[in-house]
Amino acid sequence: MMQYLTSNVDDEPYDSLYFAYCQHISVFALIVITASCVFVVVFILVATFVVQRRVARKYAPKRKISTVNISVGESDQHKEVKDGETKPEEERMPQSELNVKPLSVNYHFTRQCNYNCGFCFHTAKTSFVLPLEQAKRGLELLKEKGMEKINFSGGEPFIVKRGDFVGELCRFCKIDLALPSVTIVSNGSLVTEKWFEKYGKYLDILAISCDSFNPDVNETIGRQQGNKNHLQSLRQVREWCYQYKIAFKINTVVNTYNQEEDMTEPIQELNPCRWKVFQCLLIGGENAGSEALRHAESFVVSDDDFKNFLIRHKSVSCLVPESNDFMRNSYLILDEYMRFLDCTKGNKDPSKSILDVGVDNALLFSGFDEKMFFKRGGKYVWSKADLRLEW
């Protein structure tokens, strides 16, 4: 009996220690559970705040801005200059039909150019160029919605990475997307034979802009750089197109300095698959108005002057005329941010980027007139495989 009592007395300190240990464990567990709950609550609050900020930023009314490039070394920084209110996209009425198919798209991936044409309607307001992979993603989205033809323009497309950027886009569109038609519009001055060797197989049509076969007129217009001979570049590119089996096209803008010129003989000599003849067009904020980088008012010709130019060249079978009425709303134009540009009101009102809202949503604010697109002959034989040209 005494031994039993002694044993119980000896175990009491251990029981007390065990009880204290359990209390500490319980307190520690309670602290951990409380801290975890606090962390979860804080995380939820922060996540909710971030989501609300993003939603508010996405749908907040936007101001019309001009983007002014500030060069610092080789990096591009941009300064936003607020120059008047404009309606945000949410307040604008859609200008295009719901079932529009982006059959043919013009992607102006850069605004930079080495020429200084006085009537240019897509001027160097920014130096922004999308990263190559993002540009490819946008082109893939367009293909999924029915794009068959992509035209790369600018600015001057060959100015970015010495032509490798547009070359890789051509390769992607022809090989990965299997587009029937891949085309480029260029001034021709930066094109090299090395580019044709590397990328020519991925290109269907190369269009070179030429507004006159008089060197003095080209200089007056601004279609040249330094001592480079624009007409010499034109003819050299024509030879390379023939050599590397690429359809050759010429674009001409009829303006006050070339409206009396007869280009019949040199055009027939160069024998392009198409000679696109445009009437000089004014676009607010681009080549007209106080905010424009160009002022093309002095370049504009009347409808009668444009018709007279066409009559003078009626014997040229490859001539494809486009007056202002035909041209203004019949092109699907993507800017450097992959936003469709709506020209229905005389300027370029951008949609949201197709990379952010998708093709269908952006198309609603493109201002695209699909009926006029077909009326002006926007759908033609645009694959070199179908042109059956004699190389």
Sign (positive or negative) of CA dihedral 177, 95, 92, 69 = positive
What does the alpha-carbon distance between residue 144 and residue 147 come to, in Å, rounded to a whole number?
7
Instruction: Note if 113 is an active site residue.
Output: yes
Q: What is the 3-state secondary structure (H, E, C) of 189-214?
A: CCCCHHHHHHHHHHCCEEEEECCCCC
What does the alpha-carbon distance between residue 280 and residue 254 come to, in Å, rounded to a whole number?
6
Instruction: Name the catalytic one among 117, 241, 273, 343.
Output: 117
Report how far apart, in Å, the C-alpha atoms of 57 and of each of 51, 53, 76, 96, 359 are.
10, 6, 24, 26, 21
Q: Judge contact between 353 and 339, C-beta under 8 A.
A: yes
Q: What is the DSSP string of 75-110?
A: EEEEEEEE------GGGSPP-S-TT----EEEEE--
Among 239, 221, 272, which residue's Cα sits nearest to residue 118? 221
Beta pairing, strands 349-353 & 339-342: antiparallel
Instruction: Note if 210 is an active site residue.
Output: no
What does the alpha-carbon distance between residue 226 and residue 269 come to, in Å, rounded to a whole number?
27
Burial class (CB within 10 angstroms; exposed 0-12, middle 13-18, buried 19+) of 39? exposed
| Run of H or E including 319 | strand 319-322
Among 299, 298, 287, 303, which residue's Cα sits nearest to residue 348? 287
Structure tokens at 280: 């000089």
What does the alpha-carbon distance between residue 128 and residue 115 come to, in Å, rounded to a whole number?
18
What does the alpha-carbon distance between residue 300 and residue 352 come to, in Å, rounded to a whole number?
31
What does the alpha-carbon distance between residue 4 and residue 226 come to, in Å, rounded to a whole number?
113
Classify each residue of 176-212 as buried b or exposed e, where b means 16 or more C-beta atoms within 10 Å of its C-beta. ebebbbbbbbbbbbbbeeebbeebbebbbbbbbbbbb
Structure tokens at 242: 């023939």
Instruction: Note if 241 is an active site residue.
Output: no
Instruction: Name the catalytic one among 37, 113, 173, 241.
Output: 113
Instruction: Name the catalytic one among 22, 37, 120, 241.
Output: 120
Which residues does the annotation mark as catalytic? Answer: 113, 117, 120
